Structure 1
């Protein structure tokens, strides 16, 4: 597949701080790409370098094979950008906001209705932006970034501070954007979000890319054990430790937890003992990968 975004040895310094440290990224066309990292890892700065908002100190970023810096105005109609903090024109309705962006980009006004429908704001089209909820403002911000029908969309923490329902609704919007053939680049602190939405993920910390792969490969590569949880009394702790494939078994607060790297023989043995009622199986997640690579210490 053709790479529509590439960075080569990208570096950005602020005094003694190297915020982006020789970053190499390649994003194929049509990919939903996630950039994950702790606070201050360099995610937003990396996006701003790729978008052409900031000048790199070293290296280069390319979109569609063209350098983005010096500021490449020819690329602007082909990309859409949703920043961490969005500001709207005061006292304008949803439809009026989108009309302003449509006229700035000189696109047909018919795009307004299409965008309102895409982000699910049909019943809010005459509502002023200051009266929208947080989730509705985020959806409007995404609609503004899409009004000119860009081929690539950059989304910097679009679901930050949203409640679970608003987040899930926005996920549907993001899936629809990608399903239309657009390349989507996302930063987020929500590991479940990245695991569900992204085709490919890069994890960045202290300005360096630590790894890049699919969510499934990252999780599988961790090699973490499965945990099988049973209600107390399903089998005894002693018997559980003798089951084929079980590496350890412990009883805590009425739950028997079995650890194994090979769940199939364990589940077969439990089925033979009619001990599957209420059983739960948990495996490693992208959050486990993230914490293993970046550490568990608190980052302000």
Structure 2
């Protein structure tokens, strides 16, 4: 099966600063890839390159088999939820989602209603998005991201601002997306979410991929069994234990 995401030497520089350096990724289809890293590591820049919003300085990448230089082709296969998702405050949630469905050329009325109900937004669907709490906006943004059932879904901190019940619903939905044949590229600071959902974890530090493996193998590759949090702290610091994880 063709990889959902494949990069070769993907690099981004802003003036003299290298934000992402020679990134090599292969993300299998129908999997969840957990993308970890401290603030400023280059995660958002990577996602923006993969979603065609930021051109790379050098290197190449394909998403759903399409080169990221072909914006129209890539966009037709993906859904992207940035950390601050684009929502129109003057629209109701229904209007927002119907607008997105129209842009995508899909008839999704039933799916809109089903997802609104699942995220406990159905009763507020005719209220303007501008009156919503941060959590309600996050849920609306997630719905619009998966509305057209894309091949590859990019999620940047999707559980940010959500109460525990809504966060659980998001985790359940992510798991279901892969069962429906989609691939999820998940960037988050919440390590238990990655540990629960990800098939593969990649850790980005200072623009470079410093560790990549399944959550289970990452936590067993050190000399002593560690949690994913321990591994993350090791490989994103100058602690000597980092070497044992990366071997």
- The size of the alignment, in residue pairs, is 238
Cα distance in 2, alignment partners of residues 36 and 7 from structure 1: 17
Cα distance in 1, alignment partners of residues 30 and 210 from structure 2: 23
**Contact 2:119/2:169 (8 A) holds in 1:** no
**Contact 2:88/2:130 (8 A) holds in 1:** no
Alignment-derived partner of residue 98 in structure 1: 97
Distance verdict in 2 for CA 1:158–1:56, change over 3 Å: same
Provide the secondary structure at the position in 2 that maps to 1:155. strand
Alignment-derived partner of residue 134 in structure 1: 134
* Cα deviations by residue, 1:2-57 (Å, 9 ceiling, x for unpaired): 31110000000011210000000001010011110011001010111111111111
Cα distance in 2, alignment partners of residues 4 and 68 from structure 1: 12
Provide the secondary structure at the position in 1 that maps to 2:189. coil
* Aligned-pair CA distance for 1:122: 2.4
Give matches, 1:112-131, under 5 Å.
112-131=112-131
Give matches, 1:127-276, under 5 Å.
127-224=127-224
If each structure's strand is expressed as a fraction of its own residues, which one has the higher value?
A: 1
Alignment-derived partner of residue 244 in structure 2: none
**Contact 1:115/1:146 (8 A) holds in 2:** no
**Contact 2:61/2:68 (8 A) holds in 1:** yes
Alignment-derived partner of residue 89 in structure 1: 88
* Aligned-pair CA distance for 1:117: 3.8
Q: Which consecutive unaligned segments of at least 5 residues does structure 2 have?
A: 240-247
Provide the secondary structure at the position in 2 that maps to 1:222. coil
* Aligned-pair CA distance for 1:132: 2.3
Cα distance in 2, alignment partners of residues 133 and 173 from structure 1: 21
Alignment-derived partner of residue 68 in structure 1: 68
| Dislocated runs of 4+, deviation >3 Å | 117-120, 161-166
Provide the secondary structure at the position in 2 that maps to 1:19. strand
**Contact 1:178/1:184 (8 A) holds in 2:** yes
**What is the RMSD of the two structures over their aligned residues, measured on CA atoms?**
1.9
TM-score by length of 1: 0.74
Cα distance in 2, alignment partners of residues 33 and 132 from structure 1: 30
Distance verdict in 2 for CA 1:133–1:169, change over 3 Å: farther
Cα distance in 1, alignment partners of residues 171 and 238 from structure 2: 27
TM-score by length of 2: 0.89
Provide the secondary structure at the position in 1 that maps to 2:221. helix
Cα distance in 2, alignment partners of residues 2 and 123 from structure 1: 41
Alignment-derived partner of residue 106 in structure 2: 107
Q: Which consecutive unaligned segments of at least 5 residues does structure 1 have?
A: 226-283
Alignment-derived partner of residue 288 in structure 1: 230
* Cα deviations by residue, 1:228-285 (Å, 9 ceiling, x for unpaired): xxxxxxxxxxxxxxxxxxxxxxxxxxxxxxxxxxxxxxxxxxxxxxxxxxxxxxxx21
